[in-house]
């Protein structure tokens, strides 16, 4: 993979990470259609770190308020951070018990196509839940359930933002509060995944590291634009309409795989 391909894949990652269309699924499709081979899950983690930077920039005021609140012993800040931390537990269990299986899904492109179809169904459910969601933040049990929903998004083609926001809306969390919680809860999850990949990163040569950094930087830039668009979509209450795109993308990709003779 050269730097041009890394730039393109990083752009795809950043653009699709915060829109409810599955960034990992789009990476699998882009790699398959372009015929490129990335550094495996390592590239996936590096571009996710780029989107982590985008979250920190977009929600910088909220992040700084939480940091100040926790340092000063603020009860509200500690409660919110605790809920964010709780969402990590289901993913940690999945990572340590089924890591090889979950990573193998990235080598089975048909999984991505079917998962995109499932994402569309998840998004379509928000037609009814979005208008009735009014809670300012999730309850403790809600945070755990949303964390479980995040585990589903390990499967390429299942949107992390779409699944967690849809879950939060179903639990009664207001749209913008659901988006904020979803994106902030990605910070510890992405940081943890990056730590697990440190040994693999150290094994990559100098040119390979530069390519990975290019992909991560592009993901950060395009991610900022996607965050802004995501918030606008929530405000306009048209979130569920992304289902049409994921259904179309999944169906077209499966059809392409079938014509190309690719197995599951």
Please tell me the distance from the alpha carbon of residue 131 to that of residue 238, in angstroms, as a whole number: 11
Is a pLDDT exceeding 70 seen at residue 198? no
State the total domains in the chain. Answer: 1
Q: Can you tell me whether residue 92 is helix, strand or coil?
A: helix
> Is the model more confident about 197 or about 167?
167
- Structural domain for 14, as ranges: 3-257
pLDDT number for residue 174 = 95
pLDDT tens digit string along 144-181?
Answer: 999 999 999 889 999 999 999 999 999 999 999 999 99
262 occurs within a structural domain: no
Structure confidence at residue 186 (pLDDT): 84
Mean pLDDT value of segment 95-99? 83
The reply to whether 14 falls in a domain is: yes
DSSP letters of 102-134? Answer: HHHGGG-HHHHHHHHHHHHHHHHTHHHHTTT--
What token pair was written down for 233? 């979509």
pLDDT(206) > 70: no
For residue 247, being part of any structural domain is answered with yes
263 lies in some domain: no
Give per-residue pLDDT as tens, 17-72.
789 998 788 878 877 777 765 555 567 777 778 888 899 999 999 999 999 999 99
Position 264 in a domain:
no
Does residue 223 sit within a domain?
A: yes
When pLDDT is cut at 50, 70 and 90, the band that residue 131 belongs to is: confident
Task: Give φ, ψ of 126 to 5 degrees.
Answer: -75, -5
For residue 95, the model assigns a pLDDT of 81
First to last CA, the chain: 24
Q: Which residue has the tokens 């929903």?
A: 149
- Specify if 57 maps to a domain: yes
Share of the chain above pLDDT 90, in %: 51
CA dihedral 171, 123, 157, 30 (to 10 degrees): -140
In a domain, 74, yes or no: yes
Task: Say if CB 257 and CB 109 are below 8 A apart.
Answer: yes
């Amino acid at each position: 993979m050269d730097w041009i391909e890394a730039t393109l894949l990083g752009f795809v990652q950043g653009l699709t990470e915060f829109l409810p269309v599955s960034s990992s699924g789009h990476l699998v499709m882009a790699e398959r259609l372009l015929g490129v081979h990335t550094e495996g899950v390592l590239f996936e983690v590096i571009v996710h770190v780029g989107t982590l930077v985008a979250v920190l920039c977009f929600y910088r005021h909220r992040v700084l308020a939480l940091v100040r609140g926790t340092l000063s012993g603020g009860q509200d800040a500690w409660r919110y951070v605790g809920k964010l931390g709780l969402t990590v537990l289901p993913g940690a269990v999945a990572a340590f018990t089924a890591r090889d299986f979950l990573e193998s899904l990235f080598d089975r492109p048909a999984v991505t196509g079917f998962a995109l179809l499932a994402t569309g169904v998840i998004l379509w459910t928000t037609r009814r839940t979005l208008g009735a969601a009014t809670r300012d933040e999730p309850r403790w049990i809600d945070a755990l359930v949303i964390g479980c929903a995040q585990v589903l998004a390990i499967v390429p083609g299942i949107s992390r933002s779409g699944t967690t926001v849809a879950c939060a809306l179903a639990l009664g969390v207001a749209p913008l509060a659901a988006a904020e919680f979803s994106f902030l809860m990605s910070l510890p999850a992405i940081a943890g995944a990056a730590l697990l990949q440190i040994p693999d990163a150290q094994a990559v040569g100098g040119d390979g590291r530069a390519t990975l950094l290019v992909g991560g930087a592009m993901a950060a830039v395009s991610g900022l634009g996607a965050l802004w668009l995501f918030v606008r979509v929530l405000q306009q209450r048209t979130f569920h309409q992304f289902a049409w795109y994921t259904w179309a993308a999944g169906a077209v990709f499966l059809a392409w795989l079938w014509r190309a003779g690719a197995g599951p």
